[in-house]
Amino acid sequence: MKTRIFQAVTLACALGITAVTATGCAVARDQQTVGSYIDDAAITTAVKARLLDNPATSAIAINVETLNGEVQLSGFAKSNAEKARAAEIAAEVSNVRKVKNNIVVRP
């Protein structure tokens, strides 16, 4: 009985270590430090929040991804004005170095 409990605990620890190690490798694979990853996540969140607050943009239809301070916008807009406004909003967020606007206008 004690052997089975010990084996289960050992297996759980091994799986936990593997999960933590795999997550760390995912950040390194993208050539990104943990701090940079966290900064990018904060930028993405800030851009999405500002898109949500702005009545001229549809935060649901616009996707935001950030890598090393470069924001990529994708998804759909109802007009060229909405597409342009989304890029302006993203560029106004702190620590954004560049904005790639891949939003497609779909009436």
Residue 14 has pLDDT above 70, yes or no: no
Which class would CATH give 31-105?
Answer: alpha beta
Q: Which of 87, 89, 41, 86 is nearest to 65 (CA)?
A: 41
User: pLDDT of 77-96, one tens digit each?
Assistant: 999 999 999 999 999 999 99
Share of the chain above pLDDT 70, in %: 71
